[in-house]
Amino acid sequence: MKILQILPELNVGGVETGTIDLARYLTEHGHEAVVVSHGGALVPELKSAGAKHYTLPVHQKNLLTMFWSIKKLQRIIIQEKVDIVHARSRVPAWVAYFACRKTGVPFITTCHGYYSKHFFSVVMGWAKLIIVPSRVIGHHMVEDFGVPLESIRCIPRSVDVRKFNIPRDEDPKRHPVIAIVGRITPLKGHEYFLRAMARVVRQMPYVKAWVIGDAPSEKESYKEGLLSLTKQLGLVNCVEFLGNRKDIPQLLSRVDVLVLSTVTQESFGRVILEAQAAGVPVVATRVGGVVDIIEEGETGFLVAPRQPDEMAQAILRILNDASLSKAIVANAKKKLLEEYTLDRMASQTLAVYQELLQTVHLLVIKLSAIGDALLITPSLKALREKFPFARISCLVGSSIRELLQRCPYVDEVLVCDPKGKHHGRLGLWRLGRTLRKHHFDKVIDLQNNRKSHLLAFLSFCPERYGYKNKKWGFLLSRGIKDDQGILPAVPHQFRVLKKVGISMKEDVKLEVWPSSQDYRYIRELLESYWLAKGVAVVGINIAASTRWPSKNWPKEHIAKLCDLLAAKNIRVVLTGLKSDQPAAQAVVKLTKAKPIDLTGKTTVLQMASLIQQCSAFVVSDSAPMHLAAAVSTPFVALFGPTDPFRHLPPAEKYKVIALKPHCAPCYQGHCPIKTHVCMANISPQAVLQEIESLIEKKQET
């Protein structure tokens, strides 16, 4: 792999050191490392580790500079053939995010800080996978930035133990040294360290204190205040400001206690590991990820932030008890070698890189009715076969959720609720925000209307597939023209899938997945109607949706068919929704042989189970027709206002009756000429004849 790490600068600091350590590990293990930063004192060390460095002003919060850097980074990514871009700070993350979107290279971040809840920080949570150094930072990113928990990977920082394997200065005449290491900023709590030192000096006047690190240019006044405080506390003779140093391992070999005095949520505390590697006991404030490293009284001491008295007591306890100090050092070193070595951190990071490259997250959009949702099941199966290890999500309308909940080809069903929380423009934006958190690699829009195209766009997915029609098809990045004329639904979908390398097979079929409870419910329901085993059963669906009364077969015809079937010793079951119950009751009143009326008594999956028990099924162009195809029940499809070529599902055994008068297909929900001739002229005798032929064929097989 070739990994590009991007960070503001390469000067002194834990992030910078970790970047170089990882780059060295990558090159030593057969990978390639590229680093982009504004440069700094550590660039020569980076290059000596075998990494390549590019200088860009990715430390500046200037929009024009950032736009310029995005273009430059794109060229670097392409030129170097980078596999993954790893951002380690916020400005570099903004630059990297947009450069990765343009180049299609996977993007990952490491959250090295406890970021303020601000828009500028949100980009750190926009990666598909996010590395955090501690549980505290992981919780912070989930709770405050809405990052999905499944996107978090906790990898503690590490230390190269070899660097700190330096013999300690054991001169008995040497004065004890207490050190604080880090940038001089108010967050690091240097003021409280100095006040604690004032209390320590009262009992041990001969101790020395080192302040290792320097203030950034914008914090010079704070450093001046610390120098003044040192004089006020009478510490001039025992406190020494050493500035930035490259010889930290050598300095730590002469330190007796290291203090971390941070007053805010520390993301981790790498300097603690460095001290432990050097055999130095640690006193640290109880903040952030520090509690992951130090076990109180076992591997160090934890004190409350901004409490110099408590800090001084912990320091004195270590200095006055040599056996305690040795025990803490030994315990800390043992834990360090088990959990915080460079090899462990780097190998875990490599594993995340591999996961990132192998993980493909797909979104399929289908928002319409149940019948249309069944028609996408061949597409879902084909996507799973093409991407066996992908995470496949399906965005559906609320009525479809149950249907796909047990689908083996889908990992997650997302619901669009246009009448509830996703109502209106604000609701769609809210849904788009939810989709963005999933970091989809590809969106397959099988709905192809304005709403679905807009949601695909709002997902911010770089690859958005669908038909480039007049319904905002311009929002698709990989749209195709709908220029092949009228096609059946499934082949129409597979034209889109062909763009992702999937061809349609000849044996495609619809699928549905009722549970054992669904089958048991139907079995017990039929038994309650004294339906004997072995008796032929024909199902008749009462009506299509309320939007399409023009598709309904007249009730008088249904009643007549019931009587004709009863004369053949065939039981009839009426199916439909709760809203179809009045029509079913009217049919029952018109018949001599009373059918079993189960309208409104089944869920979608229970209806599929019921249809599967039928020898044949009579249905107009509606969702139950697709259910019959999915459970391989022979069916007679009655078509009037719609075209069977476009809407007939792939099925094994079926018969189509479509008289096609001059006005059909009209695609009108209500008959425009009020005669309903296309459905009314289909006779019960014609339907009976087709049923008998299907049942005979079923018995033969």
Higher-scoring residue by pLDDT: 193, 529? 193
Residues 139 and 167 in one domain: no
Distances (CA, A) of 284 to 188, 272, 324, 529: 11, 8, 16, 76
Q: Which residue do the tokens 């990558």 mark?
A: 26
Is residue 318 scored above 60 in pLDDT? yes
Q: What are the tokens at 543?
A: 């009506």
> Which of 100, 133, 154 is at the close of a domain?
154
Q: What is the DSSP string of 524-546?
A: HHHHHTT--TT--EEEEE----T
Q: Rounded CA gap, 411 and 389, in Å? A: 11
> Taking residues 568-580, what's their average pLDDT?
94
Q: Is there a single domain that holds both residue 267 and residue 392?
A: no
Q: How many helices (H) and strands (E) does the chain have?
A: 27, 25
In a domain, 509, yes or no: no
State yes or no: pLDDT of 520 exceeds 80: yes
Number of domains the chain contains: 4
End-to-end alpha carbon distance in the chain: 56
For residue 699, pLDDT over 60 is answered with no
CATH of the domain at 607: 3.40.50.2000
How far, in Å, are 22, 550, 553, 556, 644 from residue 680 at the CA level? 76, 10, 7, 10, 17
Q: What is the pLDDT of residue 566?
A: 93
DSSP character at residue 59? T
Q: How confident is the model at residue 522 (pLDDT cuts 50, 70, 90)?
A: very high
pLDDT average, residue stretch 55-79:
95
| Type of residue at 320 | N
- Residue located via tokens 């300690």: 168
Q: Are 637 and 657 in contact (CB under 8 A)?
A: yes
pLDDT for residue 275: 95
pLDDT at 216: 86
Tell me, yes or no, whether 692 and 550 share the same domain.
Answer: yes
Average pLDDT over residues 137-146: 92
Q: Are 476 and 466 in contact (CB under 8 A)?
A: yes
| 105-133 tens-digit pLDDT | 999 999 988 888 888 899 999 999 999 99
Same domain, 251 and 131: no
Q: Are residues 335 and 416 in the same domain?
A: no
| Contacts for 101 with CB less than 8 Å, ≥ 6 apart | 460, 462
Is the domain of 328 the same as that of 382? no
pLDDT in tens, 472-492: 999 999 999 998 888 999 999
In this prediction, residue 368 carries a pLDDT of 83
d(CA 673, CA 667): 13
CA torsion through residues 152, 267, 263, 206, sign = positive
pLDDT tens for residues 542-554? Answer: 999 888 999 999 9
> Considering the domain boundaries, does residue 134 fall inside one?
yes
Read off the amino acid at residue 687: V
pLDDT one-digit tens code per residue, 406-438: 999 999 999 999 888 999 999 999 999 999 988
Tokens of 129: 């996978």
Residue 610 CA to residue 94 CA, distance in Å, equals: 55
Average pLDDT of span 4-31: 92
Structure token digits, residue 211: 């302040």
CA distance 549 to 378: 29
The span from the CA of 544 to the CA of 553, in Å, is: 9
Give, to the nearest 10 degrees, the angle between helix 14-28 and helix 270-277: 70
Domain boundary among 138, 154, 170: 154
Asked if residue 532 belongs to a domain, the reply is: yes
Q: Give yes or no: residues 134 and 169 share one domain.
A: no
Checking if the pLDDT of 244 tops 80, the result is yes
Q: What is the distance between the alpha carbons of residues 163 and 277, in angstroms, rounded to a whole number?
A: 9
Q: What is the pLDDT of residue 507?
A: 87
Contact present, 177 and 205 (Cβ < 8 Å): no
The answer to whether the beta carbons of residues 696 and 572 sit under 8 Å apart is no
CB atoms inside a 10 Å sphere around CB 487: 14
Q: For residue 400, what pLDDT band results from cuts at 50, 70 and 90?
A: confident
Are both 424 and 393 inside the same structural domain? yes
Contacts with 308 (C-beta within 8 Å, 6 or more apart), sequence order: 192, 193, 195, 196, 198, 199
**Residue 298, pLDDT score:** 95
The answer to whether position 350 is within a domain reads no
CA distance 442 to 466: 11
Instruction: Give the chain's mean pLDDT.
Output: 93
Average pLDDT estimate for 65-69: 95
pLDDT over 80 (residue 637) = yes
At how many degrees (to 10) do helices 377-386 and 489-497 cross? 30
Whether residue 292 sits in one domain with residue 395: no
One domain for residues 133 and 184? no
Give the per-residue pLDDT at 546: 87
Report strand pairing: 654-658 vs 208-212. Answer: unpaired
DSSP letter for 622, please: S
Reported as a pLDDT band with limits 50, 70 and 90, residue 270 is confident
pLDDT at 701: 54
* 408 located within any domain: yes
Cβ atoms within 10 Å of 205's Cβ, excluding its own: 10
Evaluate if residue 534 carries a pLDDT over 80. Answer: no
DSSP annotation string for 557-600:
HHHHHHHHHHHTT-EEEEE--GGGHHHHHHHHHH-SSPPEE-TT
Residue 532 has pLDDT above 80, yes or no: no
Strands 208-212 and 257-260: unpaired
Give residues with Cβ within 8 angstroms of 471, minimum separation 6: 448, 449, 450, 453
The per-residue pLDDT for 700 is: 55
Q: Are 280 and 168 a contacting pair, CB within 8 Å?
A: no
The mean pLDDT of 620-631, rounded to a whole number, is: 95
Boundary residue ending a domain (154, 181, 198): 154
Confidence (pLDDT) at 698: 58
Could you give the CA distance from residue 194 to residue 229 in angstroms, rounded to a whole number?
Answer: 8
Q: Tell whether 370 and 485 lie within a shared domain.
A: yes
pTM of the model: 0.75
Residue-number span of the structural domain to which 246 is assigned: 161-340
Phi/psi-derived region of residue 110, left when phi > 0, alpha when psi is between -120 and 50, beta in every other case: beta
In angstroms, the Cα distances linking 324 to 176, 229, 294, 316, 320 are 16, 32, 15, 11, 9
Residue 183 forms part of a structural domain: yes
How sure is the predictor about 632, in pLDDT bands with cuts at 50, 70 and 90? Answer: very high
Say if residue 489 is in the same domain as residue 638: no
**Token output for 509:** 């079929």
260-269: average pLDDT: 88
pLDDT at residue number 697: 62
Q: What are phi and psi of 243, to 5 degrees?
A: 75, -170
CB 632 within 8 A of CB 545: no
Q: Please report whether residue 505 resides in a domain.
A: no
In order of 32, 210, 270, 475, the CA distances from 256 in angstroms are 39, 11, 18, 63
For 140, the token pair is: 């912070």
CA distance 649 to 80: 49
**C-alpha span between 464 and 475 (Å, rounded):** 8
> Looking at residue 531, what is its pLDDT?
80
Q: Confidence band (pLDDT; 50, 70, 90) for 3?
A: very high
For residues 333-351, give the mean pLDDT: 93
Per-residue pLDDT, averaged over 627-637, amounts to 96
Residue 625 placed within a domain: yes
